[in-house]
Structure 1
Amino acid sequence: MKSNFDFLMPSVNFFGPGVIEKIGARAKMLNMKRPLIVTDQFLESLSDGAVAQATASLKAADVDYVIYNGVEPNPKVHNIQEAKALYLKEKCDSIITIGGGSAHDTGKGTGIILTNGDDITKLAGIETLTNALPPLIAVNTTAGTGSELTRHCVITNTETHLKFVVVSWRNIPLVSFNDPMLMLDVPKSLTAATGMDAFVQAIEPYVSTNRNAITDSQCIQAIKLIETSLRECVANGHNIEARTKMVEAEMLAGMAFNNADLGYVHAMAHQLGGQYDAPHGVCCALLLPVVEQYNIIAAPERFAELAQIMGENTAGLSVREAADLSIKAMRQMAEDVGIPKSIKAIGAKPEDFPLMAENALKDGNAFSNPRKGTKEEIIQLFQEAYDAE
């Protein structure tokens, strides 16, 4: 555990039912004259959705805006190039992202190429950015990725089928909005996928080599909240209390991994998402129990603690026996919310595993994994996730 560390998060974070109404006043406070709103067609089409509420607040504050609605899952290089072109054409001066992780990553990526060079593939890595992004506000509509809080920007290169990450403190939005009322109508499948992403993002930092006392406390509370609320959100999306708890959980998990980093689950999930254009949260959920079973020998005490945090009865068990119960709890959560068991469900092919394993070990999330693996071991983990029944 680190004793000396920095701690990064947006300077202002609005949380709770109805906070979306404050976006106009905050944009004006930031001197936004003509922000580019980065979102998708579906969210823009909702008559009383997040985009409609945000633009109403902006209009009331006399803040002009332009909408880019081309966000797609697993945002691609061409998405941020399109958004940049519109930003310049319309003489925008700032960015507001509205949506889940894909919208936030698209907005961050747009900001990156506006100020740090047009080829974002050359900027993959940690702290590669030398110039500030345009002012950025992030309005979150899913309880999952934590991207509205973090320094991570994940983009897919369609030519190579690779996801890459640009990690920089310059990517952190100035302001985040998390209004659970915007999430009541999120479909069950998306609730499950994004919720499992938050679950993974609370677990990986807890066993990360870069963890610290603050991130530990955030992970513990996030896991407890997810254990008590994710199943209910999937079963009854209009349960405001459960939705609010999931927002709290994803914010805590986002803050935790923003500072303690992640591990092989995310490093490998990026390969699945890039290769097969599969939902990120589903990829993470499919890999979680396989990867963490592999990691147990590097940190058995931490996994034993995870079992207790997830509500497992570890009385009278050895550390290793208790640690194994944490994997059982992870599998049960995924099963309860409808995640498939095998990566076959997203079209994975064993012939792709060697290249995916090689690239996973280069991913920025790999370096804080508690166990250091080889290419052959990562291939085997992909195979185990493929063979799971």
Structure 2
Amino acid sequence: MKLFQQRTRIQKFEHTAEFVKEYKIGKGDFILASRSVYETYFAPLGIEAHVEYKGKYGAGEPTDIMIDALLADFRKTDCRRIVAIGGGAVIDMAKILVLAGEYSTEQIFKREVPLEKVHSLIAVPTTCGAGSEVSNVSITELTSIHSKLGLADDSIYADDAVLIPELLADLPYSFFATSAIDAFIHAIESYVSPKATLYTQMFSKQAMQMILSGFRKIAEHGPEYRMNLLEEFLTASNLAGIAFGNAGTGAVHAMSYPLSGVYHVTHGEANYQFLTAVFWEYQRLDPEGKLKEVNQFLAGLLECEEASVYVELENLLNKIISRKNLREYGMTEEDIRNFAESVEESQQRLLNQSCVKFDADRMEKIYRQLY
């Protein structure tokens, strides 16, 4: 049984210029970035590299069409090193650039072709949620099926993950909140995964502790207080990424994918919709083992009784940002069964990593409850 691995080197810098100098970012580098972050923090440094902005390829979460266009641009260059500067979408797209061949995104994600890494990747996260900089997972929407699909393969690990807390300073509050909640979900789902080990659970627990501590301070002092906590949240996201990179995520992520794919809800926000409902169902079906462990741990962090952990968790998260009903995104009653069947058909990788494996009927119940 594999217990743990961490292939990506992790570095932290106080300021962007220190990173650019140490890594000698410049000619021969292909940079994929979020425009606003790059123009604020990197462009003034006069970097001589090939730069493309994620917005050129489309808004929102990655699709196979967007990645195909990015691959076409990258293949026209002779760059050997890729630098991804952005949120999970940017880093997930950049991961595909490291692979050999002239294959399409759909071929790659369906594993119809060999996956061989031939380029190096430096990942610089600008949100505090994705954890993509240290995981071997890339997520995209396959437009042919209108749902997200994950590619998990060691060939797409970043060589280096670089944490620069100042890059989070301009992140709008709503994105900060939903990305941090996403990091919490990475931590809690990986803790109860059948693949979890003592090693991964150490990372999960530390991430959950840091995130909930930060949320309680923000709930007390207001949204602007997050500016005092940027390093803590960026580190917690990284820890959660290490945990889920080893142990995986489960039904929360699986059930969120059709919502993102059809209604283009951002990844973190979509995951947030299902967190407590999925864990209430786990509690009903199998209240012992790892779930009992995590409930006891959360009860200590939230200073509540074990039986009321998910009530208190939802109360806290709603103070950070309100959760919506699924119908508010445009979801219809007809979607409920369709989404459940789609997840059962296309997300077995995630369902197999769940604390309790859900079938379509059980997922339909949860969708209907949240509708």
Q: TM-score, normalised by structure 2?
A: 0.89
Name the counterpart of 1:319. Answer: none
Say yes or no: does 1:140 pair with 2:147. no
Q: Does 1:43 align with 2:31?
A: no
CA contact (8 A) 1:34 1:64 kept: yes
Per-residue CA deviations over 1:105-129 (Å, capped at 9, x if unaligned) read 11113334xx254222233368975
Quote the offset at 1:85 in angstroms.
1.9
Query: Equivalent residue for 2:70?
Result: 83
| 1:281 aligned partner | 268
- Equivalent in the alignment of 2:215: 230
Task: Check conservation: 1:198, 1:253, Cα contact below 8 A.
Answer: yes
Counterpart contact for 1:97–1:103, Cα < 8 Å: yes
1:329 matched to which residue of 2? 312
Q: Tell me if the contact between 2:63 and 2:140 (Cα under 8 Å) persists in the aligned partners.
A: yes
Partner-residue secondary structure (3-state), 2:231: helix
1:360 equivalenced with 2:347 (yes/no): no
- Answering whether residue 330 of structure 2 is matched by residue 347 of structure 1, we say yes
Structure 1 residue identity aligned to 2:368: Q
- The equivalent of 1:52 in structure 2 is 43
Indicate the larger mover: 102-111 or 297-306: 297-306
Q: Percent identity?
A: 23
How many Å separate the matches in 2 of 1:20 and 1:138?
A: 16
Find out whether 1:74 has 2:71 as its counterpart.
no
Q: Which residue of 2 aligns with 1:25?
A: 22
Change (3 A) 1:257 1:208: same
Helix, strand or coil at the partner of 1:13:
strand
Q: Tell me which amino acid in the other structure corresponds to 2:243.
A: A
1:7 aligns with 2:1: no
> How far, CA to CA, are the matches of 2:267 and 2:119 in structure 1?
27
1:181 paired to 2:157: no
Per the TM alignment, residue 16 of structure 1 is displaced from its structure 2 partner at its CA by: 4.5
Distance in 2 separating the partners of 1:41 and 1:302: 42
SS state at 2:31 partner:
strand
Q: For residue 23 of structure 1, what is the amino acid of its counterpart? A: V
Long gaps (5+) in structure 2: none
The 1:193/1:129 distance shift into structure 2, 3 A limit, reads farther
Is 327-336 or 300-309 further displaced after alignment? 300-309
Q: Cα distance, 1:228 vs. partner? A: 1.2
8 Å contact kept, 2:295–2:309: yes
Q: 1:82 to 1:263 in 2, by over 3 A?
A: same
Could you tell me how far apart the structure 2 residues matched to 1:281 and 1:207 are? Answer: 19
Aligned-partner SS, 2:130: coil
Report the CA distance between 1:384 and its aligned residue.
1.3
Residue 348 and residue 88 in structure 1: after superposition, are their counterparts in 2 closer, same or farther (change >3 A)? same
Alignment partner of 1:269 out of 235, 256, 266: 256
Could you say which residue in structure 2 is the equivalent of 1:99? 86
Aligned to 2:138: 153
**By how many angstroms is 1:41 displaced?**
3.4
Tell me the alpha carbon deviations over residues 144-168 of structure 1, each in whole angstroms, 9 at most, x when there is no partner: 0101111111011234311111111
Which residue of structure 2 lines up, in the alignment, with residue 260 of structure 1? 247
The answer (yes or no) to whether the contact 1:191–1:233 under 8 Å persists in 2 is: no
Q: 1:238: Cα distance to partner?
A: 6.2
Which amino acid in structure 2 is aligned with residue 124 of structure 1?
F
Query: In 2, Cα distance between the equivalents of 1:16 and 1:225?
Result: 20
Distance of aligned partners of 1:238 and 1:372 in 2 relative to their CA distance in 1, 3 Å threshold? closer
> Cα gap change, 1:270/1:20 in structure 2, threshold over 3 Å: closer, same or farther?
farther
2:286 pairs with 1:298? yes
Quote the residue 1:377 is aligned against: 362
Contact 1:146 1:254 in 2 (8 A): yes
Q: Matches of 1:220 and 1:200 in 2, distance apart?
A: 12
Q: Give the aligned residue type for 2:28.
A: R
| 1:85 partner letter | A
CA distance in 2, matches of 1:34, 1:268: 40
Looking at structure 2, the residues matched to 125 and 233 of structure 1 have their Cα atoms a distance apart, in angstroms, of 42
Contact 2:30 2:49 in 1 (8 A): no
Q: Output the CA distance in 2 between the equivalents of 1:274 and 1:38.
A: 23
Other structure's SS at 1:111 match: coil
Structure 1: which amino acid aligns with 2:23? R
Secondary structure in 1 matching 2:128:
coil
Deviation at 1:279, TM superposition (A): 0.9
- Structure 2 CA distance, aligned partners of 1:79 and 1:105? 12
Q: Distance in 2 between matches of 1:9 and 1:346?
A: 38
Root-mean-square deviation (Å): 2.5
Contact 1:229 1:243 in 2 (8 A): no
Report the AA paired with residue 49 of structure 2. Answer: D
Partner of 2:150: 165
Is 1:111 aligned to residue 128 of structure 2? no
- Secondary structure at 1:37 match in 2: strand
How far did residue 27 of structure 1 move?
A: 4.8
Residue correspondences, number: 362
Contact 1:272 1:283 in 2 (8 A): yes
